[in-house]
Chain A
Amino acid sequence: MQSPERGATHDTIDATRGRTFLEAAFRAWEDASQRTPSTVEHVRLAGQDATLHFAGHAMREAIWPSLEHAAVTSEARGFHVHLFDSTESGVAMPPPPWEHEDLLARGEVKGYREGALRFTYNLGSGVLLAYDADAHRALVWTRDARAIPYYETACPLRPLWAWWLGDRGLQIVHAAAVGRNGRGLLLTGKGFSGKSTTALLCVEAGWSYAGDNNLVLDPGPPLRGSALYASATVRPGTLERMPKLAEHLANEERLDLEKGLLFVGRTWGRMLPDFEVAAILLPHVTGEPTSRLEPATAAACMAALAPSSLLPLPGAAHATFTRLAAISRGAPVYTLALGEDVGSIPALLAPLVEV
């Protein structure tokens, strides 16, 4: 472990060293963009414009399928994200200004967890994210984009979006959402609570989809939601209940190692990009014959929403907690007791989104 004295010294010089590293990293991206075919994509997420500058094909192939639902044709004026990998471009990333022991939980880097310049380096995915708030730009790098794991493909660049959108008063939450007629239902809770299965059952029944694990919320009032990713990751139990999903999986040959990866936008073409939050549902599996809705409190919503939304994201703190409290108070809350009658769940929920 790093000694406190060393850490304190390190923190005092982080700003300069971080800036120097970031500039070197952007020069590396420039070099990579000269050596590999480059593409540019514009997206609009929760009403905010960003441009993705891909150097090379491999990074785009790994990142884009989950974000293409947000594509817009007009050139973004806001935020510019530059992406490359070393394997395809042949350009190395300069050495970072931190030591291995400076890497913290959630990929955060000691000394760069807040402020205008932030980094994460996730040891699981091998993806480096750099966010330069003052210059409205970011850099994404990994050694070999073809090795980016399925979970990063499903939810690419999540800390980056959390920083950028969080600076604009928007909050990424751990929830699924589906809807109709511009009105959406949030489903939040721990893993195995039935969020993804409920969302996909509704999509199969003709509803539109806004995500199965990550959403962007504007606390308002009024409380509004936006899709972040067009992907869904499904567990074996969901595939058993909904066997037709297997036809659409992007990683069917790797289900022994991975959850099933599904691009809902591509498969059904029914995305719900922005919506009014009509209700927040707290699902749990009961094993009983029938499913039912029961009114619940904002406190119950907060208890379900806050831990799973706060803990996985970098920089989560008091401001985020306050936003989550506003979200919990922003719409009627229900517990959704999920029974064995899965086919009837969309009909049970339909009155909640009627206009």
Chain B
Amino acid sequence: MENGPCYVPNQRDVAHEAFDAEVILIHFPSGHYFRLDEGGTAVWAAVSRGATASDAAAALAAAFEVEAATAEAAAATFLADLEKRGLVLVGEPPADRPAPAEPPAKRAAFQPPTIEEFADLQELFLVDPIHEVDEAGWPHAKP
């Protein structure tokens, strides 16, 4: 492993699930949820094992046709974004760190990894009827 901080999932606050070329995450304290695209999914797979920026860049280079410098820059930007959103922590790699998955036989055209954030929780909370009452309480409707 290269020197530098090691990024790991914020297991306390975040639940995540990989589906083929996407990852869905929920950050419980904020209630925000996220979708990672194919590039984000490649980086997240590395982060799930504990990854430095170099590891994340290598994961991108294994999955996409991309120059090393481009992959390194994209990985660093994406990891910083994940950290800013509270989705990863900088910590020690797991002791039983698994080996990276086999890279795909054919590498795809590179797109920088992206994260899509959904923060429309007020709408979602409409299914919780407490939000249908105002400060005066039941049975007054919202103005």
Contacts and interface: CB of A to CB of B under 8 A. Distances in A.
B35 interface: yes
Interface in A79-131: 106-107, 122-126
Nearest to B133: A124
Contacts of A122: 130
Contacts of A299: 19-20, 22, 24, 35
Nearest to A256: B141
A147 B138 contact: yes
Interface in A302-354: 302-303, 306-308, 310-312, 316-318, 321-322, 325, 328-329
A302 B24 contact: yes
B129 A124 contact: yes
Contact of A124 (B124, B126, B132): B132
Interface in B31-45: 31, 33, 35
A257 interface: yes
- B interface SS class: mixed
Interface string B107-130: 000000000001011011111111
A152 interface: yes
Nearest to A312: B128
Contact-residue bracket for chain A:
35 or more
Contacts of A310: 26
Given A151-B129, A302-B24, A311 B138 contact: no
A125 B139 CA distance: 10
Interface string A220-255: 000000000000000000000000000000000000
Contact of A303 (B33, B121, B127, B129): B33
A125 B130 CA distance: 7
Given A190-B124, A191-B126, A311-B31, A126 B138 contact: yes
Given A306-B26, A306-B33, A321 B17 contact: yes
Given A125-B130, A306-B24, A310-B26, A257 B141 contact: yes
B15 interface: yes
Contacts of A303: 24, 33, 35, 118
A46 interface: no
A298 B17 CA distance: 11
A308 B124 contact: yes
B26 A322 contact: no
Contact of A328 (B19, B126, B139): B19
Contact of B19 (A107, A125, A297): A297
The 10 closest A-B pairs by CB, nearest first: A124-B130, A151-B129, A299-B19, A321-B15, A299-B22, A325-B17, A312-B128, A257-B141, A302-B24, A318-B15
Interface of B: 15, 17, 19-20, 22, 24, 26, 28, 31, 33, 35, 118, 120-121, 123-133, 137-141
Given A306-B24, A312-B127, 4 more contacts: A149-B139, A302-B17, A311-B128, A322-B15
30 contacts: A106-B130, A124-B129, A124-B131, A125-B129, A125-B130, A126-B138, A147-B138, A149-B129, A149-B133, A149-B138, A151-B129, A151-B132, A174-B127, A190-B124, A191-B127, A257-B140, A258-B139, A297-B19, A302-B19, A303-B24, A303-B35, A306-B33, A307-B33, A308-B124, A311-B31, A312-B127, A312-B128, A316-B28, A321-B17, A321-B26
